[in-house]
Amino acid sequence: MIFDNFEKKKRTGEIIKRLKKEYPDAHCALNHSNAFELLVATILSAQCTDERVNIVTETLFRKYRKPQDYLEVEQEELEQDIHSTGFFRNKAKSIQGASRKIIEQFGGEIPQTMEEMLTLNGVARKTANVVLGNAFGIASGVVVDTHVSRVSQRLGLTEMVVPEKIEKDLIELVPRKDWIIFPHWLIFHGRKICQARKPKCEICVLENLCPKIGVVQKIL
């Protein structure tokens, strides 16, 4: 089913209205107390569940409190600290590289523009959008993770599969004031209802708005 842009915007407005009512407490699921912790947590979340990241960071954030702390240990020790999040070597390298650049180029503070965020090791648009939006309230774009990709495709809001292209489509449809919260609504909905293998279409508040593109049929 293909919708023109006007129809997509109209449907998106109704989708936003319903999700806002359904998930009034939607929020960033990664535990953090400042922008730097959120950056580290988001790097760790690649190919890992938020739940696992939160378990790891509960201890990690007591041991490492600022960028300098991550540079004062050997990479191998940091790898052990984050081992259970997977891809620990690359993640440790990214965290230490980002920490070094934050100290040397940004005076120890997290930069607050997309352009500057993208210069940090291990940071692409998703991570930058997470930090800028949730730590600073800066609507620089729309976070696209696996839940956002799946749900937005099923809803017919995008036909793209590359995150950057999905983000571009969502930016055109979603009002800027909702750029930060919109992904959280889709993430909450994706976890609770619009699950990857067995979406619960029969109890979905968006059922009559959804073309169910790519929905996996339930096995009877």
Burial of 151 from C-beta contacts in 10 A (0-12 / 13-18 / 19+): buried
Find the catalytic residue in 8, 50, 91, 126.
126
Other beta carbons within 10 Å of 74: 10
* C-alpha span between 93 and 101 (Å, rounded): 12
Tokens 């005076």 — which residue?
A: 107
Find the catalytic residue in 9, 10, 66, 145.
145
* C-alpha span between 52 and 64 (Å, rounded): 18
Tokens 């209205």 — which residue?
A: 17
Check if 101 is active-site: no
Check if 169 is active-site: no
16: Cα within 13 Å, side-chain hemisphere: 19
* C-alpha span between 203 and 152 (Å, rounded): 18
- Residues noted as catalytic: 126, 145
